[in-house]
Chain A
Amino acid sequence: MIPLTHYLILSAMLFCIGMYGVLTKKNAIYVLMSIEIMLNAVNINFVAFSAYSGDVSGQIFALFSIALAAAEVAIGLAIFLLLYKRYGTVELQKIRLLRW
């Protein structure tokens, strides 16, 4: 049997890769993909804990988050397409709507 820590370490590494992408990438599509990687890292944790504690609720949570992630990507892409239409760019550095 693989020790639980292996899964946790793998998921932590994946999470960090995703976080790095979210913080450094300029193109919004990349950021979105990085977020997906982070979400998957979290899912691994859920499922691993669920398998090692014999409780299926972890898997149910993972299912939820997959469904949510699908919706999130759809909406995120739609927003980016509109941003692109309106500002001619999907570069996050240039889009500063959050400031006033």
Chain B
Amino acid sequence: MNPTELAYLLVIIPFIGFLIVAFFGNKMKEGGAYLAIASVASTLVLSILILFDVMENGSYEVSMNWVAGTGLEVGMFIDSLTALMLIVVTFVSTMVVIYSIGYMHDDPSKRRYYAEICLFVGSMLGLILANNFLLMFIFWELVGVCSYLLIGFWYQKPAAASAAKKAFLVTRIGDVLFLTGIAILYVKYGTLNFTELEHLMGHDVQGLLLPALLLFCGAVGKSAQFPLHVWLPNAMEGPTTVSALIHAATMVNAGIYLVARSYFILEHVPDAFLVIAVIGGITALMAATMALVQYDIKGVLAYSTISQLGYMMLALGAGVHAYGYTAGMFHLMNHAFFKALLFLAAGSVIHAVGSNDMRIMGGLHKHMKITSITMLIGSLSIAGFPFFSGFFSKDEVLASVWHAAADNNIYYLLYAMGVFTAFLTAFYIFRMWYMTFAGKQRGDYHPHESPKTMTVPLMILAVLAAGAGFIFFFGFQDFVYFGHAPHLTISHMFEMWQTWVSIAAGLSGIGLATLIYYKGTISPRTFTAGPGRRAIRRVLEMKYYMDEFYMWIAQKIIYGGSLVMDKFDGKVIDGAINGISSGGIALGHASNSFDKNAIDGTVNGLSKGSFIGGKLLWKMQSGRVQDYASLMILGVVGLVILMLLMGVV
């Protein structure tokens, strides 16, 4: 079988799995879990085959026409980036689904869960494989829908239902901008195919900044970057496995992937790189500070995901010459492994404790050794402890930012933010680990180790989280790159002082957390005493008041505006009901709006005009069938007259 057909199978298999589980899952064991595992695992096998094929033969593309004559097509484009993403997504998904057997064992609506997971994985694979922006957007939206369904999986809980809605609406802002960007590209070049666009951009690179930034806006929404990051912390209302899937494998990586995929556009607009890097840097630092004050074990991980995504954006924003592309994608891969590990381990803890609250945990190490040790490995990895995978990728990210600073001084600031974030990351992740596993048990419950189906995926992921970093030097950097490959070696890495800076940042974070939460030599109150420090804590706990800010916008501006409209509405409707004069009043409003049009400027007038136009149309809507029928007949008669005049008949 040739790789072309494999690529189509990759998308088709999960969708078939989805259909079968959705319709017949209840008749199967565990609500169709085994079928779901089979379909996801088979995509993993296919991805590995594709990876080997790409390593041997390079990138290839298959496509067929969708709408003839418009340049729209359905096709697959596979290169090293695609192959990497395929492996990451299918591998993590497989682990998560296997883990789900244990985790979701007692849930009554397992069938729905497994069906939606299959759909989720299938759409994500479609997104990765698409060879043009339109197809990508379609799968992009499917991923959004699936995340909505899965975050709101326990829709009986009001918090879960509203979290799902929030995720859907917030990412929608990015999606609309993304679509606008696609439209601009299509108008400009007449095609959305990646290879064709890349080719065309060799000749014409004028005015690419706007579409590039719009594409990035899509990524901001999907990958939870500042200022659209607010949905991700709420997204943990879903089952923990779903959080692992969303945070590590599918949803949020889509945005990073989009930016990486658009690199051939971005390379023509260096300003866009700066925007991406700044947004990434702000996100990384801001989310890391918010993670410091979380008591919810999943909350810590959710903010750390945002922060790490910020890292990836920062790396991608470092630009073509600084190898940011390689560093960012490497961090994406490692992050997928250790974040999936951390989330699944957290799920195991929650499973044992029955609560998310770290304040009642503690001392769990002696009850659940496997979970504790695997989570420790994940924590060491994310904290950047030397020779764990996170150490290498984080170091590459920071090195590439430093590299980019040669061209633009702002990157020095971003580098400093990155290093400080690394320190904070190490601190909050060990705060979490110590609060959960060290010390004495603070709540009243009987913890127990989780079943094998849950611990085995943890162990597999732990091995990768610990060791995946080395593949950077053995193949990765020569495989995933944009422009030219970096060619770094381990010894070269330790010759650079930047490496020692990030080691120092990570170790001091771990050390501080140990002092405070393990040894207890420093009381955590030291940091919250005093009005100034308490205020900082409050701001962090309220997540920089971002949610409140958005609520304020929604309530005061949008709702207030609609109240004003409502009053206006009442007046106009009353006038209309008064009968014969209604037409006159509407005319008066129309002329009034015309007056204002002349005085207040076009924008004001246009909105008023369309509003009054709407009102007039509303009056035509009598609700009587026969009025509509008369209008229809009038229209037909008009058409016939038109045809007669034009001599068509």
Contact = CB atoms under 8 A, between A and B. Distances in A.
Do A and B originate from a single complex? yes
Interface in B599-643: 621-626, 628-630, 633
A62 interface: no
6 contacts: A23-B630, A93-B626, A98-B621, A98-B625, A99-B622, A99-B623
A22 B630 CA distance: 9
B621 A23 contact: no
A99 B626 contact: no
A92 to B, nearest CB: 5
B625 A92 contact: yes
Contact of B622 (A22, A23, A31, A96): A96
Interface in A2-34: 19, 22-24, 31
Q: Which secondary structure dominates where chain A touches chain B? A: loop
Contacts of B633: 19, 23
- Closest CB pairs A-B (n = 4): A99-B623, A96-B623, A98-B623, A92-B625
Interface string B522-543: 0000000000000000000000
Contacts of B624: 92-93, 96, 98
A97 interface: yes
A23 B629 contact: yes
A13 B79 CA distance: 69
A22 B622 CA distance: 17
Nearest to B630: A23
Interface of B: 621-626, 628-630, 633
Contacts of A97: 623
Given A23-B626, A93-B626, 6 more contacts: A23-B630, A23-B633, A31-B625, A92-B626, A96-B623, A99-B621
Contacts of A96: 622-624
A99 B623 CA distance: 4
Contacts of A95: 625
Contacts of A92: 624-626
Contacts of B626: 22-24, 31, 92-93
Nearest to A98: B623
B617 to A, nearest CB: 12
B452 to A, nearest CB: 58
A95 B624 CA distance: 7
Nearest to A35: B629
B634 to A, nearest CB: 11
Contacts of B628: 98
Interface string A24-66: 1000000100000000000000000000000000000000000
B269 to A, nearest CB: 48
Contacts of A23: 626, 629-630, 633
